[in-house]
Structure formats: C-alpha cells, structure tokens
Amino acid sequence: MLTQSKGEPMGRTIIEKILSSHTVDPVAPGKIVDLEIDARVARDFGGANVVKNLTEAGLSINDPAKTFFTFDCNPGGSDQKYAVNQQFCRVYAREQGITVYDIDRGIGTHVAIDQGLVRPGSTLVSTDSHANILGAIGAFGQGMGDVDIAHAFAHGRVWFKVPPTVKVTITGTPGKTAAPKDLTLAVLRQMGAAGLLGSAAEFYGDVVDDLDLSGRVTMASMGTEMGAIICLFPPNGSVLAECSARCKAEVEGIYADPDAEYASEVTVDVEGLGSLIARPGHPEDVVDLDAVRGRKIDSVFIGSCTNGRMDDLRTAATVLKGKRIAPGVVLKIVPSTDAVWRQAMKEGLLDVLKEAGALIGNAGCAGCAAGQIGQNGPGEVTVSTGNRNFAGKQGKGEVYLASPAVAAASAVAGEIATPDTLPSSPAVFATGGGATATAPAPDPDAETAPSVVRGRVLLIDQDNIDTDMIFHNRHLAITEIDKMGEHTFGNLPGFEDFPQSVQSGDIVITGGNFGCGSSRQQAVDCFRALGVSLVVARSFGAIYERNAINSGFPILGADLLSAGLADGDEIEVDLTTGKVTLPSGETLDVEPFSRVQLEIYGRGGLLR
C-alpha cells in the first residue's frame, strides 16, 4: 500500500482513507487519482475480452499473484459461448501463472472475501457490477469494463474519480421478522434507484453495528441498485475476526475520522419494520408485503451474491423443515460458494431442502447472470432473493425481490406469504375447463405443395453431417422459424457462409447419414426458413428423416453426388415418380415419395 499523499484534509471518510493509501495523488471528492489495485479480477463473463485486449495491445501481466479469474456466471459451462470463454481464459492463465477460481468455486466477490484475497482497506476491481460487495468488510470494490480490467491486469492500477460520501444512519428497532434484506429494501425504498448515484455511502446505527458479515453482504450488494459506487460498513469485532481467520493474519479496520466531511447525511427509520418486497421491474418499487400478499406464484429462487450465504440457507431450511413446496411450484436454490454448499451438506440443510422439493444448483451467480438455474419464462411469477428484477434480467416473467424467509414461505404457500402466516393449505393452480382441440378445416384457397421441384444445385460432398453441424445447440433457444435460417451449417467447416450464398428454391445434394445425431427440429426448419426446396442425400438419420417428413419438408433419399453435377446446375425432380432430369436432359430414376410421405407433404405437415 502507498502512504498518504500530502495536502489532503485531516478529517477523511472511509473511502478517502482507502484511496489515499493506494495513490500518491491528492484525494478529494471529484479528483482523479491513479489507484493501485490489490486484487484484479475477470469473470467468465468478460474475461475473454480482457485477454483479447491484453494480447492485441501486446501487454503482459503486472503481478500474477494479484491477478485472478473467477468463473461464476456459468459454473456448469453449459453454454457453448461461456465454455469457449472459460477455456480461452484457462489457457491464458496457465501461460501467465494466474490463479483461476474455476466453475467449482462460486461467486468471485464472495471467494475474494472467503479466500482472504482482500481485507478491510483493500482495493479490488472486477468485471462484476456488484464488486462493491467488498464494502461489507470495509474494503473498496468496483465493477469495471473489459478495457479497465485489462489495464489493471497489465499495470496494477487504474484511474478513478474520488466519489463524495453520503452518511446513512439507520435508526429504530425493526420488528422480529425483519431480515437484512428488509433493511436493504427499506433503504432502497427511501433512496430510490439513483439516491446514491456516483457516491460512496457509509452505514451507521445500532442495527448496522449488530449485523454479521452475511447481513452486511446483503446490504452492500444492493448498493448498485441505488446507484452507489460502494456502500461501506465499518467493521465490527465479528467481521474483523472472520477476516483475520480468512487472511490467516491479524487485520484492522479502517474507520472515518470524527470530523470527516460528508456530501449529505440521511436517516432511515426502521422502527417496527416488517417484511418488505420489491415489485417486478424495479428494485426500488418497494412495498410492505401485505400489499401483494396472496399473489399466486410459479417459482421461487434463493441465492445470488445478495442472499446465497450460509445464514440465508439456514433461514430457508428452518422455514421448509418438515414441509413440502406447493403443487406446481418450482423452488431453485443456488449457494454462493462451494464452501457454503459443502457446509450446508455437512449441517444436513441440503437434505431438508431436497425433502421439501427444492432443486439445488452448483455454487455461482445462477439466474441473475442467465448462466444457470433461476431464469423464468413468459407469464411466470417468481419470488427471488436476488438484487435485480429488471424486465428480462432473470427471465421473461415477473420477479419479486424478498428475503430468504419470505421466499421459502412463499414456496410452501404457493403464493406470496410470510413464515408466520402460512395458509392451512397451499394455493394451487386452476386446472381443466379447456376445450378439446379440433383440426382446422382445409383451406380451399391454399397453395398445393408442388409435386415437381426445379432448382439450382448446391453440393455438399460429405457423409455423417450431424444436426449440430446443421444447426448448433447454442441456438436451440430460437423458436421462430424465420430466425433459424441465418444459423444453417454454422458449425460445418467450409460452409459457414451457406445462409448468404443460398437462394430460394435451391436444392441441397449431400452424402450419407445426413442429419444424424440430436433430434432437433431446427435442423429441418432452418432450410425451410431459407426457402430450400429439397434436400437429397444418400441416406438420412432416422430421426431427421421423420422430422422432415412430419413437417412437410421435402427430402429424398438418392445418390446424386455421383451424377456428375456441379454447383449451380439446375435439375428437376418429380417427387411422385422419382424421375430426376439432369442439365443434359438425361433422366435418372430414384425412389419416389412413399404414399404416406406424399400425403403429409401435400397437406403441409403431419398435424395439418
């Protein structure tokens, strides 16, 4: 750490003291300083871009011992793009001697605290917008972009604008059911989404003094949702003891001077505070839980950097012990770190949660980062312990933000509820009453599928082209057929530009076992989207053949690769007779459509 620079005021806030010990520049609100960074972190989300920035600029690593990767957005590596980025970063880390906290470790900011990478007074930057969670131990953490992090990797420092500090004092005695999440939501309700915009905040009051590390983590995490640079909590004895144990050395806290100057001072009264909840779309849209009590829900998520620690899982297990979640409700739980996961298993909490019907995921960010369980679908109503409920952030449904106790109780009740007011029987979904589906009447004006196809030939002289080559699994979430065409053959080397070169009416001619592999309908529909009129192959994968026939897409089993054709030649194929007319006028006889295939093709699909 650096020493205090000259010319600074004697009465300083916590952030000013931390920054002063990490720069030689004068520290005052609004000043730009060149800041030394103790821990420089890139996640799997953004990490690959950090590496690319470094390599393209020809930069090396300043200090590998202070440089880290944390893979927490997709701890299963279950998404192809994440898996590629993770492996890209692993290879770079091996070359540079950088420590990787891989997919088995959990949320990077929590790992940084638990592994002693930071201590009170330290500085950390990360590609995580909630890096300010470090304020829970009285350290400085800041989320930054890929370029900033690359600079920190290469030089050990970044420029930073000193923020003003707001002093927040929480007064009053909250009710017995109020959790740290409720305290956080109370502050958020009063401050709003921009109440601490561009500022550091220091939190004081008897209720704050009594918070353990988990409670401080919850409050510090949601500073981002108030626009804060960081929310700092002066370490109490238990926090210092825990940090000392993590760091394997005695640590001291950093505290504001009695005459520190604040940009403003705010008081939040939590006298008698009960359970709060944030309504969908806006974390700051906080109301008393009674305002939405009884709202029918589809799912519950317990986890995230805000509420995925041991205390949170213990609270959930206490509520769920001996109970079952409501019929039709899905409960998803994701511990913040692997250490939490293991401790929960050791204490028997996982058994309690599983007996209640919960799905327990690998440690990590989960649905907040769209990389693991926790997402919801259109129309789905979710109670979440996360920090954000922006539209589309955790899926396409509605997300209410609440404490772990409320989340667990709601899972049991099947509706928004609190542990002390669980209904005698859970709310259930209405069923039945739907009309029996009937087939639509034939449209007499509909165009009849052509029995004779004429088109330009595109040759792909390969066997065993599987469905991942035709339509890669990273695009499987696409459901609109008109959006599938652009991904056709995107994983077939040499044919990645197929969507740009194909023309409507073209005929694809290829080898044997076409469409082997996974049973994905998109591998058929992508050709329909591009207007391909026919696929001819020596043979087809069994499932692919059924998918094509059942969707009314014309495929024909024949060996036309040996017919002397060239790309761009035009041929004519009679699907009913199997007669193929070549450019020379010569004809070939191949197996025509069967009666069943012809019937399905003629009406546009099996279900028509």
Q: Walk me through the domains of the chain, giving residue ranges and CATH numbers.
A: 14-161 (3.30.499.10), 165-269 (3.40.1060.10), 276-421 (3.30.499.10), 452-603 (3.20.19.10)
Confidence of residue 323 (pLDDT cuts 50, 70, 90): very high
How confident is the model at residue 434, as a pLDDT?
54
Q: Which of 167, 170, 230, 219 is nearest to 197 (CA)?
A: 230
pLDDT, tens digit, for every residue of 451-479?
Answer: 999 999 999 999 999 998 999 877 877 88
Tens of pLDDT, residue by residue over 175-230, are: 999 999 999 999 999 999 889 988 999 999 999 999 999 999 999 999 988 989 99
Mean pLDDT within 403-416: 97
Q: What are phi and psi of 291, to 5 degrees?
A: -70, -20
Residue 411 has pLDDT above 70, yes or no: yes
Digit-coded pLDDT (tens) for 254-290: 999 999 999 999 999 999 999 999 999 899 999 999 9
Confidence of residue 372 (pLDDT cuts 50, 70, 90): low
First-residue to last-residue Cα distance in the chain: 73
Least confident of 45-54, 296-305, 428-437: 428-437
By three-state DSSP, how is residue 122 classified?
coil
CA dist., res. 161 & res. 177, Å (int): 40
If pLDDT is split at 50, 70 and 90, which confidence band does 395 have?
confident
Q: What is the pLDDT of residues 493-532, one digit of tens each?
A: 999 999 999 999 999 999 999 999 888 899 999 999 999 9
What integer pLDDT is reported at residue 433 of this predicted model? 58
* pLDDT recorded at residue 2: 44
**Predicted pLDDT of residue 487:** 95
> Does 353 have pLDDT greater than 50?
yes
pLDDT of 4 > 50? The answer is no
The residues, any chain, with a CB within 8 Å of residue 586's CB and separated by 6 or more, are none
- pLDDT at residue 369 is higher than 70: no
If you average pLDDT over residues 77-83, what whole number do you get?
Answer: 74
**pTM for this structure?**
0.80
- For 30-46, how does the pLDDT look when each residue is reduced to its tens digit (9 = 90+)? 999 999 999 999 988 78
Whole-angstrom CA distances from 237 to 204, 211, 234 are: 15, 11, 10
Question: What is the structure's pLDDT at 519?
Answer: 81
- Measured over the CA atoms of residue 335, residue 139, residue 225 and residue 403, the dihedral's sign is positive
Q: pLDDT tens digits for 201-210?
A: 999 999 999 9
Mean pLDDT, the chain, integer: 91
Tokens of 544: 């692919």
Per-residue pLDDT, 134: 96
**Is the pLDDT score of 96 beyond 80?**
yes
CA angle 326/328/329 to nearest 5° reads 60
Of the pLDDT bands very low, low, confident and very high (cuts 50, 70, 90), residue 396 is confident
